[in-house]
Amino acid sequence: MKYKLRILFCNILSFDGEVVIITGGSRGIGFETAKAFSENGANVIITSKNSKQLKNAAAKLSKTIAITADIRKEQEVQNVIKKTIEKFGKLDILINNAGIFPRIKKLHKISESEWNDVLDVNLNGAFRFTKFAIPYLQKTSGSIINVSSDAGLKAYEDFNADAYSASKAALVVLTKCWSLEYAKDKIRVNCICPGVVETDMTKPFLKTKKDRDFMNNDHPLGRFGQPEEIAKSILFLASKDSSWTTGAILAIDGGQSTK
């Protein structure tokens, strides 16, 4: 009797020929995500309003184009989409990653301009990019991944960054809304919620050994995260390995949000 030998291969993430826009791609999670996509064959467009920082980031990556844009300005957002389509003729994946963190203040001490600035970048910026990307993602049955935060999943005592928490919580709900709105177009919309990750944004909170020890101990797994760990989760949600996943909210926070 003859037997056929079946060999099972683990899937290797491949984005050959796919076109990805990553907002806030010049540093931190955005940069590591751009690096991961480019290493797996994608054509990557990174955006930031800091042109010098953006060009330096793109120079370190393969298959990556830098387009300077202020996410708060509709025309500049439209320009990123326009240049992407002119260059590649399509768009497959949008990563809404750009965000800012405010100065720590209690609610009654926050100025209206401070509140609006955080929401304009973290929430309205994602709205703008998604709005103008949708017509092209409809053509490719594309994917959107919103980068929220575990601060969008629950309240933390003495966190005192209400505008940030509000913007990130809104992204969680919008992910679910958009996943339903565009399911008929086969556009998948998912969301990740990182905990404390070692980036330029979190440097002020990780200055001393005491700060770092506190942050490590605050996570059940005993440490804060690294940008490349977040990037790997983003790649999975954008890949064909998660082809039946939409509207998912994934906490990547060392167990912090479970406390």
DSSP string over 60-88: TSSSEEEEE--TT-HHHHHHHHHHHHHHH
**Catalytic (active-site) positions:** 164
- Which domains, ranges and CATH numbers included, belong to the chain? 19-198+226-258 (3.40.50.720)
Q: CB neighbours of 207 closer than 8 A, spacing ≥ 6?
A: none
Edge-to-edge strand list for the sheet holding 19-23 = 64-68, 43-48, 19-23, 93-96, 143-147, 188-194, 249-252
For residue 165, the one-letter residue type is S
* Average pLDDT value over all residues in the chain: 93
What is the C-alpha to C-alpha distance for residues 44 and 18, in angstroms, rounded to an integer?
Answer: 8
136 to each of 31, 80, 143, 187, how far by Cα in Å? 24, 13, 11, 10
Q: How many CB atoms lie within 10 A of CB 24?
A: 27
Which stretches of the chain drop beneath a pLDDT of 70? 1-12
Long-range contacts of 100-103 (CB under 8 A, 24+ apart): 100/201, 101/161, 101/164, 101/201, 102/161, 102/163, 102/164
φ, ψ for residue 42, nearest 5 deg: -80, 155
pLDDT digits (tens, 9 = 90+) for 55-93: 999 999 999 999 999 999 999 999 999 999 999 999 999
pLDDT tens figures, 147-172: 999 999 999 999 999 999 999 999 99
Residue 7: per-residue pLDDT: 40
In this predicted structure, what is the pLDDT of residue 12? Answer: 61
Taking the C-alpha atoms of residue 71 and residue 49, their distance in angstroms, rounded to an integer, is: 7
* CA separation, residue 207 to residues 85, 201, 230 (Å): 42, 12, 22
Share of the chain above pLDDT 70, in %: 95
